[in-house]
Amino acid sequence: MKNDLVSLINEKTELIERINLSKNVVIIAPYNFGKESLINYSIQKASVETEIVSISLNVLFSVSEDEFLCKYASEILNSLKAISKDSLESYLRTMSSLEIFYNIEATENASYKISVSACTAPFSTLQKEEILNLPEKIAKEKKIDLLICLSEFQSVLSWNKIKPSFLDLFHEIAKRQNHVRYCISGSHIHQMNTLFDNKNSVLYEFGHIINLEPISVDQFSDYIAKSFAKVNKIIEKDLIFKILNVTEGNPHYTEYLISEVLKSNKKIISHEWVENCIEILLRRYIASYKSKLSQYNVNQRLFLIALSKSNGKKIYSLDFIRKSGLEYSAKLDKVKNSLLKEGTIYTISDKTVKFTDPLFKYWLVENFD
């Protein structure tokens, strides 16, 4: 379903144009919006249209700055290497000032795979600068332009704070590069805004910020109806909206729920069958939700339960404060900010507060009065 959904999304044209025209782009999209395929498609399309070479790396899988830098150097070298070993080693000589190990393995197609690791830990400031500037050096030598795509970039905030910081060095190197552009993306709205939309951040105004929106209910409902029609099954529109009300358009949950509903051996889908499929979906996550809820403090639990029963628009109203049991708005604000930072909730452009996991919200509604 995810690949098919690329064609549904209105932001596709704008995103491709922004990647093509901007020096750097920062894309913010919560994971539950299911925009990974859109972002990847837009990067590939922009790369073809502008004849630029794109290289992608997920920051989430690096637990430290040094681990990221090793993976970064390896990815750059593997993506830009020539077929011949002699040409490959000429690129490695651009890193001659670094005290690093590199290993070259022959592969089945007579190419080579490179892995980079540090001789000493941690990397020195000079080593970090050399690695971060490696794309510029190689791009200049090969007379090409590069688009470096770093996803889940907010993960850098979990690394140990070492001076000078990774962000300071990254910003300083990036602004001097002429052959390299960056497409940065992240799924944690609060943390991404802290990095790129905060005047106190070194990365403030680093690039054009694009906040992607969820797929509209109307688009999604039409898509689902057509999916059922393709397999000669009939589903009423109110049942489609029931499914989307539970999943809030989360492609992962929606895809799973639709696949369960389609298992019906009846041509016409019944209300009872859809309710049964929703229960099947919930049972997959009940244990994790119970564990998750137990890890919050009392005030956080009160806030989340109250939020699950509201539309998230007037959380500072006397009615919401009374229902949450948090007594006054300052206390509520403190709880809200802690949950924003943790990633359980996020805010959209009109300040509405929403759950990152819509199924967690549905479970709270069903289980707490």
pLDDT digits (tens, 9 = 90+) for 194-220: 999 999 999 999 999 999 888 888 888
| Domain 217-284 annotated CATH 3.40.50 | no
- More confident position, 279 or 329: 279
Q: What is the pLDDT of residue 140?
A: 87
Closest CA to 220 of 256, 189, 255: 255
| C-beta of residue 136 within 8 angstroms of C-beta of residue 180 | yes
Domain boundaries, the chain: 2-80+91-98+124-211, 217-284, 296-367
How many angstroms separate the Cα of 113 from the Cα of each of 77, 85, 142, 206, 366?
Answer: 9, 10, 19, 32, 52
CB count in 10 Å sphere of residue 120: 10
Which single residue is written with the structure tokens 């539950």? Answer: 32
| C-beta of residue 125 within 8 angstroms of C-beta of residue 169 | yes
pLDDT digits (tens, 9 = 90+) for 268-321: 999 999 999 999 999 999 999 999 999 999 999 999 999 999 988 888 888 888
Most confidently predicted of 164-168, 273-277, 322-326: 273-277
In angstroms, the CA 241 to CA 216 distance is 12
Question: Rounded mean pLDDT of the chain?
Answer: 85
Closest CA to 54 of 181, 230, 203: 181
Closest CA to 125 of 150, 162, 161: 162
In angstroms, the CA 116 to CA 14 distance is 37
| C-beta of residue 352 within 8 angstroms of C-beta of residue 311 | yes
Strands annotated E in the chain:
24-28, 53-58, 100-106, 112-118, 146-151, 180-186, 208-211, 345-347, 353-355
In the numeric block, which tokens belong to residue 199? 């005047």
Most confidently predicted of 108-112, 141-145, 148-152, 327-331: 148-152
Q: What is the pLDDT of residue 347?
A: 86
Domain range 296-367, its CATH number among 3.30.160, 1.10.3470, 1.20.1280, 1.10.10: 1.10.10
The secondary structure of 87-121 as a DSSP string is: HHHHHHGGGTTS-EEEEEEE-TTS-EEEEEEESSS
Q: Find the mean pLDDT for residues 256-266.
A: 92
Q: Find the mean pLDDT for residues 76-100.
A: 60
∠ CA 126-129-132, rounded to 5°: 150
Domains 2-80+91-98+124-211 and 296-367 in one fold: no
Residue 353 pLDDT more than 60?
A: yes
In angstroms, the CA 187 to CA 182 distance is 17
Fold for 2-80+91-98+124-211, please state it. Answer: Rossmann fold (3.40.50)
